[in-house]
Chain A
Amino acid sequence: MFKNEEMEINLGPQHPSTHGVLRVKLRLDGETVTHCRPMIGYLHRGVEKICENQSFFQGQVWTDRMDYCSAVANNLGWAEANEKLLGITVPRRAQYIRTLLNEFNRIASHLIWLGTHAMDIGALTVFLYAFREREDVLDINEAFCGSRLTTTAFRIGGLREDLPPGFEKMVRKFLAKFSDCLEEYEALLTENRIWKKRTIGVARLSAEDAIALGVTGPMLRAAGVAYDIRKAFPYAAYAEMDFEIPTRTEADTYARYQVRMAEMRQSARIIQQCMDGMPEGPVMAKLPKILRSEVNEVYHATESPKGEIGYYLVGEKGSLNPYRFHVRAPGFINLQSLPKMAEGGLIADVVAAIGSLDIVLGEIDR
């Protein structure tokens, strides 16, 4: 008598909680999601192809524009991959400054995630609080490299400039208040019953599934796998830093929230150590006038706030630009897990799952 029909609905590409131009094709049975496929490509600019046609120096501005919420982390990966390719050793002071800025970037990126994720679940206030502190991080970015979002912070071989005067004061001021700020966010969320109800047990992704799908970063660590490239394959100055890898075993949205909150604390710790142990010396290696690649190919992975960002560069020996370039974008690969997390849940859980993925479409579509 009554026909039972599933409804197909497009979540995005213009939707308040798809964090950009992600389109998710959902099939709904009432409110339950039976089928979920992310559709990407709305922001495709061909970053990889563009970089192949530019010199090694020029590519970096494009890495800013991939994951624009963590531009510094992208810059770092690009610079280090190129240094490997070109056979350059970076001075120790530059390594420290890179580590410091990278951790600031992690904080900024996680703050954006926290704000938008909380807003997706309906907690409006956290969003504005998180952006308030992110503003300070962007000010620090601005003090260092004159730009707030698309930083182009580093150069192949080190840094363009040393730290500006007054930089240390800014950093110390930020560190002094940041743990209080974290407590402020946690006061609004961590023990909030509605927040817990909305996140605990939601969008589960077990460690096996996560590894099978290639998921990295906080998503993987929330499933209990303590894999962090900063520890596993230390780069920049991470080998000299003392920090922990926060993990949880619940593998749900709440666990991811806890992991990211703990990571921000660890980042602050690393920044503290960088600032305290900052070595003296030059910040730029001696480079030849024209950069020519030394080896044929290199894959260099770093831990971006979203997960493993890998730069795969192929350069014929002696060439002026990369012959082939590919980015292993963490958001792109993490997004594969969305159907696994969302199918069988409710439509509100899809939003929570997307939020807990922490995706930036600039990076996914490249």
Chain B
Amino acid sequence: MSSDLHYKLIVGLEIHVQLCTKSKMFCGCAVEFGQKPNSRVCPVCLGMPGVLPVMNKQAFEYAVLVGLALNCEIAQFTKWDRKSYYYPDLPKNYQISQYDLPLSANGYIEIPLESGKTKNISIIRAHLEEDAGKNLHTAGNFSQVDLNRTGTPLLEIVTEPDMNSAAEVRALAVELQRMVRFLGVSEADMQKGHMRFEPNINLIITRDGTEYRTPIVEIKNLNSFRALERSVDYEQARQLDEFLENGVVMGMGNKTTRGWDDEKEITVLQREKEEAHDYRYFPDPDLVPVKMTPQWLSEIQGRLCELPIKRQLRYVDQYKLSDYDAGVLTADRSTSDLFDEAVKAGAEPKRLCNIITQTGLKIANEKGCSAGDLGLKAQSVANLAGMIEGGTISAGSAGQIFEAMVETGKEPEVLAEELNLIQKSDAGELEAIVDKVLADNPKAVDDVTGGGKKSKKARGFLLGQVMQKSKGQANPKVVSEILVKKLG
């Protein structure tokens, strides 16, 4: 039986972002990755009787800052709740989180689409909570627990199910990473687990004019963009197959949880006890509420910066850069800041963009930092761009000078001299070389003046000879002009 069938993917995302505070959320233990097991742990982390957690002001302000960047309403009154669950990675048997009064809600994030346009994805809420420790299952017939991560501040961000492709889901994740890095509130290092994703996925299937919704699946604990994108793609195909096979649609209590098998690249059903979701939230009596005053809020607002997506759009709009180049420049804040400052210092944007995205990023990659952190002054980079623009140096030698600037810290004008890279643009001096080349190559001269197919090639040959004689320092534009003058 043939049928008219089409479907739409529906995805909402829950994201945990680790905030880069020096100390934990409710105690003074250091937040440091890769330390000896159980070496960053205190009685508060252990949930010892009688301990008193105290909120980290920086963590709270970082969370508010992200809330503002996500265009959320910031709550004037927010409180802490206990989410009860019994698991060895949280020894006090509850996680401190926010239940009914999150610190921010009702916002949106603008994400770039492949078309160059953007899409707004609604944010339901963003709240603070503490991370759990780590269970390790490697050794023998027992598990090991390391509580160093316990109590690390996490921002949980929940979106509306507004995404309709795996590419959009990935774009949101990448945009959020770029945003929190721009704001300086998280290193957002995937390798260190600073960002974790849990997509909720289902399909709206229309068959013969009737609409069906497949049961929602939540995929737990994804920690790379690749796994996120692939798992959403996989679920889309799997749910469609499953629906065609059994026709089961969304209903009460048939939401399931699946894990991602990175090697097989499939999602796997996770067994769950139903009562596991009975978290019995209640206000934490150990922690007092936080009231946001207008002064405090405006102080935090003052720390907002132009968001990366806005910068990217501005570069395309204002400087006519390609969307790709604008994306590369705004991948991190220091590179983007360097670009902005150098433009302010007078650099031609397109020229500057080429220097930074070509040579700058190549060197930065080798050094394992960003192009903005190579220690260059914006003014010096602007001057380098200006030297190409003015014909003092060739675009080709700009890379060499840029590298030398990073190595020596010298100014581009000085290096151009030292490295003999100043282009000869003096017509008189170049004319003498051209005359010599023409005298030495009568055959090529005949070919040029004879016209036809050979003419263009011969002209190129003569130009090449002049460049060679000048040791590459002749300004090719000026040489071409002289050739035209002499040979027509």
The answer to whether A and B assemble together is no
Interfacial residues, chain A to chain B (CB-CB below 8 A): none
**B interface with A by C-beta (< 8 Å):** none
